[in-house]
Amino acid sequence: MTDIYIKGIGNISPQKTIDNSGFPDEVMEYPDAEYLKCIEPVYKKYIEPMASRRMSRVVKMGLYSAKTCLDEADIEKPDAIITGTGLGCVEDTEKFLTSIIQNEEKLLNPTPFIQSTHNTISAQISLFLKCHGYNYTYAHRGFSFESALLDSILMFNEKSANTILLGGVDEITENTYQITKRLGHWKRENINHLKLLEYKTKGSIAGEGSAFFLLTNQPDKANYAKISSVHAFYKPENSGIIKNEIISFLSKNNLRVEDIDVAILGLNGDKNFDEIYYKLTEEIFKNTVCAYFKHLCGEYHTASSFAMYTAANILKNQFVPDVIKFNNKPQRQYKNILIYNHYRNINHSLLLLQNA
C-alpha cells in the first residue's frame, strides 16, 4: 500500500479547532445547550459577502474548512475532492420542502433546491478552486466519512492522485434535532455535555462538524500523521465479532493490541450503545490509553472525522489532552492510534493512524 499522510487540516466544530494551533487549550462548555453547534468563523476571509449570502451554513462551513486545510498544506488545487456527509444540506432541503407545503407548490425560490443536493459542498469547493478532478460524495449514515477515506486510499493505490482533499461534514438544524429527539436519539434530561458519560441514561447529545484533511503521498516532517488503514463493518451480531474485527484489522496491519498507544472510542453517553466500548476498555484495551471525543463535538454521522482530527493532533504533538482521557495511564510515546466508532450499532468502523 502507498503511504498516505495528513498534511493539512481544517476543522470547524463546537470547539476552537479551526485555527490549527494544536488541540485547543480552552474547552468550550455549553451548559444549557440541547445540542452542540459549531463555532462559525468570519467567512469573509475566504468567501465574498455576496456569495456568502446565497450559501447555507453547511456549505460555508465546508468551504471555509476546506480552504483552511489547503492553506495549511500549501496546496492550491488537490487532484481529487472526496467528502462524506450523512444528511447533506439539511437546511436548504428543509427550506425548500417547507416552501412547497406552505405555498402549495406555487411561486417557489429555486435556490434552496439547487443547493440541497448532497454533493453541493464538494461541488462548491471544486467551483471555488476551479478543480476539474475526481469529485465524489458519500452519504451513508456512519459509513459516510469512512467510505470517502477508503476511496481516497484506493485513489493513491491506483496512482490516480498525489493530493486529495477529504472531508466529513454534517450540520444540525432545529428541525432535525426535534425529529431525532422524538426518535429517542438524545437525552431528555438537562445535561452538561462535558459530563456526557456520567449520566448512564438513554440518548446522547447531538452535534455537528466540518473537518477537512489534505492527504498526500509525500513524506514530510511537518505532516501530522500517516493514515494506515480503514475498515467498515455492518451490523455485527455480537461483541465477540466486534473484538475479532478489531484484532484481525490490527493483524492485517502487522500490529497487536499491545502496540496500540491510544484507542479513541466513539463513546456517546447512550447506555444502549456504549456497552461495547466499556467492554473493550475492560478487556482488550485494559492496558491501553483510551480516549473519547463526542462530549466535545456531539454525535453525528461523520463524527469519526473529529476523531481523526484528534488522533492526528495527538501524533503530531505527542500529547493527549486531559479532557479526552477516558482512563489514567502513563504518558508514553504515541505511535499507533486506533479509532473505533459505531453509529447506533449499525455502522461500525476502524481507523488506524500512525506517526508520520
Q: How far is the CB of 182 from another protein (least distance, A)?
A: 6
Q: How far is the CB of 100 from another protein (least distance, A)?
A: 5
Backbone angles phi, psi at 34, to 5 degrees: -80, -30
Which of 50, 101, 282, 328 is in the footprint of another protein by CB under 8 A?
101
Closest to another protein by CB, 119 or 288: 119
Backbone angles phi, psi at 342, to 5 degrees: -140, 150
Residue recorded with cell 456512519 = 142
Is residue 276 within the footprint of another protein (CB under 8 A)? no
Positions in 122-181 near another protein (CB under 8 A):
122-124, 126-127, 129-141, 143-144, 147, 150-151, 154, 157-158, 175, 178-179
HSE-CB for 45 with a 13 A CA cutoff: 14
Binding mask 35-74 for another protein (x = CB under 8 A): ----------------------------------------
Q: How far is the CB of 142 from another protein (least distance, A)?
A: 8
Is residue 333 within the footprint of another protein (CB under 8 A)? no
C-alpha cell at 145: 466519512
Pairing of strands 336-343, 262-265: parallel
Contact 351, 142 (CB under 8 A): no
Contact 12, 23 (CB under 8 A): no
Which of 81, 211, 280, 296 is in the footprint of another protein by CB under 8 A?
81
For residues 4 and 166, what is the distance between their CA atoms, to the nearest angstrom? 12
Is residue 233 within the footprint of another protein (CB under 8 A)? yes
Q: How far is the CB of 128 from another protein (least distance, A)?
A: 9
For residues 111 and 353, what is the distance between their CA atoms, to the nearest angstrom? 40
